[in-house]
């Protein structure tokens, strides 16, 4: 099952140790790590990205489920970016893109208090004991949530509803007096602008979901090839 994992620690060193533990668990075959990062909560409530994976098939964190969650953890003050990482772009504060519930974000935000650090990772795991045991042994508090499916039907329904409102306004305008026509035109223009923005956002979300799905396939292929090569070396 694909899950979002957040492990909160009292120190930065412990968080790095937690990130290393995830890599070890992956090498042991217990989990698959799609992407991971270490973040820290600053005294002003903002979140700093301390360390992320080297650029791979997922590329930049921008637009990914992991990047979106990190953006949400930044809180109202916003996200303090690590060097060269552009997490502020393209909807990182979108709960839909993060694919986790608001309650999960609230729980993690309450635990990730100023001066604390966390490992944030998107993983695949069949059972929770390996991660929980390893993280608890080094003082981590584990939060996890299964990733929701990317659903576009709701967005399409919202656009359809807005278009229905637009059609009704236009029909009303055709029968209205001159002074009323102008007021309705303003509303029509605004609603049409909102529809176009929503359509563009829906398109971007579909494209981001497709890119991430393809990237995960490539990650799994790469990891499988590495394991096969490692096994071949042992038998050589």
pLDDT in tens, 15-53: 999 999 999 999 888 999 988 889 998 888 778 888 666
**In DSSP terms, which residues pair with 119 in a beta bridge?**
7, 38
Q: Does position 236 have pLDDT exceeding 80, yes or no? A: no
Helix, strand or coil, per DSSP, at residue 51:
strand
Range from 89-98, 191-200, 226-235 carrying the lowest mean pLDDT? 89-98
Give 7's contacts (C-beta < 8 A, 6+ positions apart).
Answer: 15, 18, 118, 119, 135, 140, 141, 142, 143
Helix, strand or coil, per DSSP, at residue 60:
coil
Burial string for 53-66 (b: 16+ CB within 10 Å, else e) reads beeebbeebbbbbb
Check: CB of residue 110 under 8 Å from CB of residue 219. Answer: no
Check: CB of residue 43 under 8 Å from CB of residue 129. Answer: no
- Classify residue 152 by its DSSP letter: -
In which residue are the tokens 């991971």 written?
A: 36
Angle at which helices 12-27 and 129-137 pack, to 10 degrees?
A: 150
Range from 18-22, 109-113, 155-159, 181-185 carrying the lowest mean pLDDT? 155-159
List pLDDT tens digits, range 96-127. 667 777 888 889 989 999 999 999 998 999 88
Q: What is the pLDDT of residue 164?
A: 87
CB-based burial label for 114 (10 Å; 0-12, 13-18, 19+): exposed
Would you say the pTM of this structure is higher than 0.75? no
């Amino acid at each position: 099952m694909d899950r979002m994992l957040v492990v909160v620690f009292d120190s930065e060193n412990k968080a790095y140790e937690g990130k290393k533990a995830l890599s070890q668990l992956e090498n042991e075959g217990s989990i698959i790590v799609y992407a991971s990062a270490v973040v820290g909560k600053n005294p002003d409530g903002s979140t700093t990205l301390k360390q992320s994976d080297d650029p791979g098939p997922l590329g930049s964190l921008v637009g990914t489920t992991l990047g979106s969650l990190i953006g949400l953890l930044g809180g109202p003050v916003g996200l303090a970016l690590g060097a060269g990482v552009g997490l502020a772009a393209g909807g990182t504060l979108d709960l839909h893109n993060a694919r986790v519930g608001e309650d999960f974000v609230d729980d993690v935000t309450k635990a990730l208090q100023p001066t604390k650090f966390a490992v944030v990772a998107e993983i695949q795991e069949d059972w929770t004991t390996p991660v929980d045991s390893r993280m608890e042994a080094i003082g981590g508090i584990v939060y996890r949530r299964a990733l929701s499916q990317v659903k576009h039907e709701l967005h399409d329904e919202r656009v359809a509803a807005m278009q229905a409102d637009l059609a009704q306004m236009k029909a009303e305008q055709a029968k209205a007096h001159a002074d009323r026509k102008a007021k309705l035109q303003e509303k029509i223009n605004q609603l049409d602008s909102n529809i176009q923005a929503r359509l563009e956002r829906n398109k971007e979300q579909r494209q981001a979901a497709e890119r991430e799905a393809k990237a995960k396939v490539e990650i799994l292929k790469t990891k499988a090839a590495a394991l096969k090569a490692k096994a071949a070396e042992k038998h050589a």
